Structure 1
């Protein structure tokens, strides 16, 4: 079963979230329950509207309240959003512990490490909660070396060429 692995999609190139969503659709089509938790995205994305139409097979959760992405917020807004993000991260732990789904995607969770909202140790502890037949996908731009040994599949996304015509 493809959903039983820990997969990490990272890099500066585009397609990480799209690849994760593609696997979500595949797993949902096989009758498996899928949950996506998005971090650091801001609101108003078209993909969110589309993903909401895939419920109940694929459930999408976003704990951030601001329209803007985290990095564009004032310090006060960042403090509030940080609490919301930590709530989302804690919800992810609960999903794994209670086996609420078969596949869990933590979209842009690696960015939480860069912003020091969570630590590498906290993310590793979350990964270690996963049982054998539970799938987990982590995405983000930068991958700390310490996480590589905790994944079954690590895929780097990078742009080789881009025409800006």
Structure 2
């Protein structure tokens, strides 16, 4: 049986979700089953349309779409917990070859989830399952547990020139 590794894509630079979706596309095109759980998000981004084209990718969002960073509501916490419960089950049962926990680091940073609960879910994953965790502010405990950690660093960004997020490129 092939060993599944744990990846963390973090940092303040652009490209964490984009990189994770690149891994998802590569895995799906090689015949692997992919599940993408998006924490904090609840909007139709262009990348979420991929499941309309590839039967072996499933995407589910665990957010309300109106998360206030400074003051999350109980409903935000409940949505994140529901997401972790569902993703934890999928991690352990081995139904999927690749599971992406998109923006889970943000959910942890804003205390929608406990780091210990995420670590337990990862410890209980089926051995073959590959996992990618994304989002700024990855906690040190997840960095230590991961097999691969990439930090995205912003060196230059056109947003600072007043360019807004562009459909099909940035989202």
TM over 0.5: yes
Q: Is the 8 A contact 1:63 1:87 kept in 2?
A: yes
Q: Is the 8 A contact 1:107 1:139 kept in 2?
A: yes
5+ residue gaps, structure 1? none
Tell me what 2:165 maps to.
none
User: Matched residue of 1:138: which SS?
Assistant: strand
Tell me what 1:38 maps to.
38
Tell me what 2:155 maps to.
160
CA separation in 2, counterparts of 1:44 and 1:162?
24
CA separation in 2, counterparts of 1:12 and 1:54?
31
Tell me what 1:113 maps to.
108
Give the TM-score taking structure 2 as reference length: 0.84
Q: Is the 8 A contact 1:3 1:27 kept in 2?
A: no
Q: Is residue 149 from structure 1 mapped to residue 144 from structure 2 by the alignment?
A: yes
Q: Could you say what the CA RMSD is over the residues aligned between the two structures, in angstroms?
A: 2.3
5+ residue gaps, structure 2? 163-171
Change in Cα spacing, 1:156 to 1:81, as seen in structure 2 (3 Å) is same
Tell me what 2:135 maps to.
140
Deviations 1:87-111 (A, max 9, x none): 1110001101211200000000011
Tell me what 1:97 maps to.
92
Q: How many residues align?
A: 160
Give the TM-score taking structure 1 as reference length: 0.87
CA separation in 2, counterparts of 1:45 and 1:39?
13
Tell me how far 1:55 sits from its aligned partner. 4.1
Deviations 1:43-79 (A, max 9, x none): 132322x223234211001133x343x126976xx22
